[in-house]
Structure 1
Amino acid sequence: MKLKDKISLSNIFTGVLVIFVLAMLFSPDFKGLVTQNLMKVGLFQPDVPNGSSEEMAAGISANENNEEILFKDPAGYVIELSDQKGKVVFINFWATWCPPCIAEMPSINKLYSELKDNDKVVFMMVDVDNNRGKSEKFMEKRDFDLPVYTPASSIPSSYMSGAIPTTLVLNKYGKVVFKHEGMGDFSNNEFKEFLTKLTAE
C-alpha cells in the first residue's frame, strides 16, 4: 500500500482532533484561548441584575459574622473590605493555572480600562494561590494592567465556595448584589451600565 493511500482525510482529521484534545487537556493557555473565542460569539454572558434601587441596596453583608475580610493590596498593604464602603467593588477570585480565569481575563481588563478613572469603582483581582509574584508576571506577560490582590484572611463561603473564577460585585453599602461562578464576558455594555448605575444609587 502506498503512503498516500494511507493518508486519508479521516486520518488527518483524527490526528488534528487528537492534538486539539491534548492541547485542551495540558495547556491552560490554549484552553483559555478556545473558550475566549466562544465568549466572543455571545456565550458565557453573566446574568446582570436589573432590580429596583431598594433591591440593589439589599444583598449579602460583607461582615455578617463580625469577621473582617482582609486583603493585601497591590502595594502589599493589608486593607479591610469594609473600608471600601461608599464605593462599588468588583472582586474576581482567580488563579494563573485556571483556563476559565484566563479566558475571561481580557473581558475584565477591557471593563477595567473603561472604568479605572471612576474613583467610585474598585477592582480587586484576588489570586487565590496567594502568589503575588506569579500573578503579576501573568498580568505583565499579557499586557493586562489589572490590580492584583491576595487574601489576608479567610474568605466566607457565601463569597467563594471554592469554584474559580468567582466574581462578586458589592454595592456602596458593602452588600453583595452580584455573584457569578464560572467564566463570564464582563466587557458587554449591560454589565458596564450595571456597575455605573450602582455608583449613582
Structure 2
Amino acid sequence: ASDLSPSAVRHRFAHALEPADRLLEMLTPFPSGLLRLWLAAPGGHVVFTHRPTAYRPEPQLYHREMLEGVCFVALSDLMQDQEAVLLALTSLLDHLMGGGASSGGPYFSDGHGVTPALAEAAGRFVRIHDLGYGHDELGVHSARDYFAHTLRLYLRDERRLNVLDPQVQRLYRHTLMSEAFWEREDALSFTF
C-alpha cells in the first residue's frame, strides 16, 4: 500500500508499522471484550491500501486468499481523514457483532447479534432507530448508516450524541461501549 500511495503520504510515516500503530490508537476507546470478539471472528480484516477507505462485506481477494468482511483503510486517510476510517471501522463492527463479519451474514443494526446479549441490544437499537431521532441531522437513511454515524459520534462527541438521540447514547454506554457488558459475555468462548 505504501509503494502505491502518493509520495507525500509515504514520507509522512516514520516507519513501516506506523499505519498499524495509528489504527491501534483509534481502537483504544473500544472495550477489550469487543476487540476479543473481533479477534475470534473468521471475518473482519483490515487491509491498508492506496485506494479509498471502505468496508466491503463480500469476499475480497487479497494476496491469493479470499477474505470476508474487509475494512480497506487508505493510508492517506490515516493522516488526513480519520473520520472516514472510523466510519468504515464502525461498519465492520456492525457486521461483526451481527454475524461475525461473514459474507452474507446479518448486521447488528438490522437487529441481529452473535450472542443473546448482543441480539437483545440489537433489538433495542432497531426500536431506537425506528423513532427517527437524528436522521436528518446526520444525513442518514438506513439503520446501518445510523449505527456507523452514531457510534462514531459517541466516540468523538458523546455529549452531542446525547442531545441528538439520548436513547442510543445510553444504549452504547451500557452495552457496546461498556467493559461491564463485555465482561458478562464470555469472549473466549465466541464461536462462529
Q: TM-score range by the shorter chain?
A: under 0.3
How does the TM-score come out when normalised to structure 2? 0.28
Say which one has the larger Rg: 1
Report the structure, 1 or 2, having the larger helix content.
2
Report the structure, 1 or 2, having the larger strand content.
1
